[in-house]
Amino acid sequence: MDERVREHAAVLVDWSARVEAGDDVVVSVAEDAHELGVAVAEALGERGANVTTLYGSAEVSRAYLKGAEAGSEGGDGDGDDGDDGDGAPSFDDDPAVERALFEAADAYLRIGGGRNTTASADVASETRQAYAKARQGVREARMDTDWVSTVHPTRSLAQQAGMAYEEYREFVYDAVLRDWEALADEMAAMKDALDRGDEVRIVTERDDAPDTDISMSIAGRTAVNSAASVAYDSHNLPSGEVFTAPYDTEGEAFFDVPMTIDATRVRDVHLVFEDGEVVDFSAGAGEGALASVLDTDAGARRLGELGIGMNRGIDRFTDSILFDEKMGDTVHLAVGRAYDACLPEGESGNDSAVHVDMISDVSEDSRLEIDGEVVQRNGTFRWEDGFEG
């Protein structure tokens, strides 16, 4: 086993999830993430934790959803054919067994790395929406744990990133095996600026793309210094972003970084906001997948997150949101669910069954303002060398 696999496991268990002796830990392992799964299990055993392992297979999930579609089409005529009336199968709301598993868990570790990054490409969008809505209780129980998501470098992910496997493996470990405490200290300045601010404005002006000019309120919100540890209210490894939960969004935004939504390539997304809600949208590719997300529920047309990428150890786009949204010189906005860590105690933010990030490259012809003061211009922050106010 490559020693970096064990190092990855140690960072995940110790720095990210902060697992202690006696903790009940659920570990989901994707098909081709077996090696990291083994290293994580070993680390958890050494630390005296209790482990329950799940098989996190996209192909198994696809088979289940396709089976549900087939079952809904084969109704027996008694009116209970498993169809919710809009062509999608119905699913048991809040499945008790899975919810109970996460309610009993102290931590949940998701290790991605499947065989096919588009395994569920032929599942109807209506089926995805119905399944997401039905599992909202499970999702809330899972997110109440100390959960962390990471990936093992696999050939399918390398192919999606357009990289040789060996090259991709180096890329992943460069992003994961970092001095996370030092990066947290660097990102603290951005968190402080957001915590003090009331309004954020993002502007890009380019000859080869639609302009962005969008404003949003952040008053009363708390930004998260996402340093790849639950101790920082951060749940991704790698991480390296500062994010908050905006509201009252006005204006328009263009997202030039390609992404995959529900196994569909989406690029050149343009969103128009009025009174905090998406009122118009378009995409250069994958507009149907974007429409499906926005039609999931009422909250899917409102922002749940503003994120600012600050991890310059991630130096290229890979078509994986786990890496791409953390890349330095980027900002991202997510439609859908807001994270509780950004909200005042007792206040509910934007609620939705989805949370979909969209990314803009802000390395040139751009600025980010907080309360009218430029905090970042062309990718450089005001506390960095080379900043031009």
Closest CA to 51 of 38, 32, 33, 60: 38
* 290 vs 370: CA distance, rounded Å: 29
Q: Are residues 260 and 312 in the same domain?
A: yes
Q: Are residues 56 and 124 in the same domain?
A: yes
Strands 303-309 and 330-336 come out as antiparallel
Residue 293: pLDDT band (50, 70, 90) is: very high
* 20 vs 14: CA distance, rounded Å: 8
Q: Give domain status of residue 181, yes or no.
A: no
How many CB atoms sit inside 10 A of residue 232's CB?
19
pLDDT of residue 79: 41
pLDDT of residue 147: 97
Q: Give domain status of residue 386, yes or no.
A: no
Q: Give domain status of residue 327, yes or no.
A: yes
Q: Are residues 250 and 369 in the same domain?
A: yes
User: Using an 8 Å Cβ cutoff, are 200 and 368 in contact?
Assistant: yes
pLDDT of residue 266: 94
pLDDT of residue 74: 64
Residue 386: pLDDT band (50, 70, 90) is: confident
Q: Are residues 349 and 202 in the same domain?
A: yes
Q: Are residues 224 and 165 in the same domain?
A: no
Determine if the pTM surpasses 0.85: no
Q: Cα 9–3–324 angle (5° rounding)?
A: 55
Q: Are residues 14 and 142 in the same domain?
A: yes
Distances from the Cα of 106 to the Cαs of 143, 202, 362, in angstroms?
A: 11, 38, 38
Q: Give domain status of residue 259, yes or no.
A: yes
Q: Are residues 172 and 287 in the same domain?
A: no
Ranking 182-191, 195-204, 256-265 by mean pLDDT, the lowest is: 256-265
What's the domain range around 62?
Answer: 3-176
Quote the DSSP letter at residue 386. T
* 237 vs 12: CA distance, rounded Å: 7
For the stretch 333-367, pLDDT in tens is 999 999 989 999 888 889 998 999 999 999 999 99
Q: Are residues 71 and 190 in the same domain?
A: no
Q: Is the pLDDT of residue 81 over 60?
A: no
Tell me which of 155, 176, 197 is where a domain ends: 176
- 121 vs 201 pLDDT, higher one: 201
Highest mean pLDDT among 90-94, 356-360, 381-385: 356-360
pLDDT of residue 77: 40
Q: Give domain status of residue 387, yes or no.
A: no
Tell me which of 143, 176, 209 is where a domain ends: 176
Q: Are residues 49 and 144 in the same domain?
A: yes
- The helix (H) or strand (E) run that includes residue 108 is strand 107-112
Q: Give domain status of residue 389, yes or no.
A: no
Q: For 302-327, what is the mean pLDDT?
A: 93
Q: Is 345 exposed, middle or buried (0-12, 13-18, 19+ CB in 10 A)?
A: exposed
User: Using an 8 Å Cβ cutoff, are 368 and 202 in contact?
Assistant: yes
- Residue 98 sits in a domain whose CATH number is 3.40.1830.10
Tell me which of 114, 143, 176 is where a domain ends: 176
* 262 vs 50: CA distance, rounded Å: 33
* 243 vs 39: CA distance, rounded Å: 31
Q: Are residues 155 and 253 in the same domain?
A: no
Q: Give domain status of residue 388, yes or no.
A: no
Partner residues linked to 299 by β-bridges: none
Q: Give domain status of residue 60, yes or no.
A: yes
What is the residue-wise DSSP string for 263-301?
TEEEEEEEEEEETTEEEEEEEEE-HHHHHHHHTS-GGGG
Q: Are residues 167 and 196 in the same domain?
A: no
Q: Is the pLDDT of residue 75 over 60?
A: no
Q: In the chain, how many domains are there?
A: 2
Residue 78: pLDDT band (50, 70, 90) is: very low
Q: Are residues 85 and 156 in the same domain?
A: yes
Q: Where are the alpha helices (DSSP H) in the chain?
A: 3-10, 34-46, 58-73, 96-103, 125-134, 136-143, 155-161, 165-176, 180-196, 287-294, 321-324
